[in-house]
Amino acid sequence: MNSKKITSALISVFHKDGLEPIVKKLNELDVKIYSTGGTQQFINNLGIDVIPVEQVTDYPSILGGRVKTLHPKVFGGILNRQHNEGDVAEMKEYNIPQIDVVIVDLYPFEKTVSSGALEADIIEKIDIGGISLIRAAAKNYADTICVSSMEDYQEFLEVISENDGEISLVNRKHFAAKAFNISSHYDTAIFNYFNQDHSISALKISKQNGKILRYGENPHQKGFFFGDFDAIFDKLHGKELSYNNLLDVDAAVNLMAEFNGEAPTFAILKHNNACGIAQRETVLEAYNDALAGDPISAFGGILISNVEIDEAASEEIHKLFCEVVIAPSYSEKALEILQGKKNRIILIQKEIKMPETTVRTCLNGVLVQDKDTKTDRLENLTYVTDNKPNSNELNDLIFASKICKNTKSNTIVLVKGKQLCASGTGQTSRVDALNQAIIKANAFNFNLNGAVMASDAFFPFPDCVEIANNAGVTVVIQPGGSIKDGLSIDYCNTKSMAMVFSGIRHFKH
């Protein structure tokens, strides 16, 4: 039968917010209520009759509450097929009460893990009875409805209120799907806790907060975002973020993380790559010099600052059409100015630990790797040429290297005075990437004399250092590691160029 009038309910929940109106409605519908422990006391305090589960099972809650509902008389009441003659006969023979509704949630395992609790406390938050009840009720959706989260209380209340306790098969199956979503997510979290060392080569990902996007990368593609965007950002203004916006925001956040806690740094990104970035004494100066890196590509870009955006900077930013502005904070006046464009997305970035792995589809599976968290540092550099970079050049090298790490390979980055002059991005040849960067720098009137060059991978031949030298570059940073490193070193020595090896390759595909 499609519709079924509920007559009995088992309620045992950790979270009781929003439960009261459901209990009162069930009581109004003359539904017999069974419960345990704190939930039973909660219902009693409402002045509503409730039958303790112990009265059904003839067993008390034992083992410190670890075993309360794990009993045939409970699970039989949930799992019986009400139109199966054999099940009906056994229910009568063993005096098993019918249970039509199961309202159960789970111990907050993930919240306990994230709190930094001791392992013993974490283990106690692995729910056994609750998860079993949820699976049982969801499996038997033909006869039983399962409410497995406080997020679903309101929807369930509306269903039983609108139909006087009659629940359709469609609704029961809908709530069963929600229940299996809850149970599978819960088990995934537990497995990932036990497999933090990745000793078991299995991948389990579960994201509860899904959002349907207007479309994917292109209008003919469907797009979704699964994640907790609000945990990372406060969205203050503007339209909904698109699929491409989210990819650019991700690239912007990863890039600016390299400059956390440093002097005011401002970056402008387009298609996941920086088209301008500069570090200065004020955010206004940083923005102006970032924009100077490529004022054409900046149109419609993603802007990000590592410090508060003030009124002076916002007045300049407001002159540019941009999709998204990101900062840790904004002055009151700056926010007022930036909100002058109704579609401009304004985000405050929160301090939050980001994922330590990256995941992407590949063929008929997925590729998973550790995130590239290594940043080139002065103390890790190897000086391989006769000429050594001075302190200003070293600072530029590290600045360039950070940009290079966050730019699509093959890439070459040219920097002077902590300002991106140009980069060659996503080229099939490193020579092509360098030539692209030089042409672009010249187009925007950058003087490359005294500039530094960063490469994401080693030079197998001296052609790149030769081209860079002819353009005015005097210092180079690269990972090193080619069997022909000596060719590039020898060329640098003959031209009094300085070159350092970082020892770390930063491919980004």
Active site residues: 139, 271
The three-state secondary structure class of 183 is helix
CA pair distance 451, 462, nearest whole angstrom? 18
CB burial string 435-472: b at 16+ within 10 A, e below = bbbbebbeeeebebeebbbbbbbbbeebbbbbbbbebb
Phi/psi-derived region of residue 416, left when phi > 0, alpha when psi is between -120 and 50, beta in every other case: beta
- Distances in whole angstroms, Cα of residue 260 to Cα of each of 21, 161, 254, 279, 371: 48, 53, 10, 12, 17
CA pair distance 30, 503, nearest whole angstrom? 74
Q: In the chain, what's the furthest Cα-to-Cα distance? A: 98
CB 34 within 8 A of CB 54: no
What residues contact residue 51 under an 8 Å CB cut-off, 6+ apart? 32, 33, 34, 35
- Distances in whole angstroms, Cα of residue 327 to Cα of each of 98, 265, 268, 280, 322: 57, 11, 12, 16, 14
CB 405 within 8 A of CB 508: yes
Residue type at position 357: T
CB 385 within 8 A of CB 489: yes
CA pair distance 138, 135, nearest whole angstrom? 5
CB 279 within 8 A of CB 259: yes
CB atoms within 10 A of CB 357: 11
CA pair distance 230, 260, nearest whole angstrom? 20
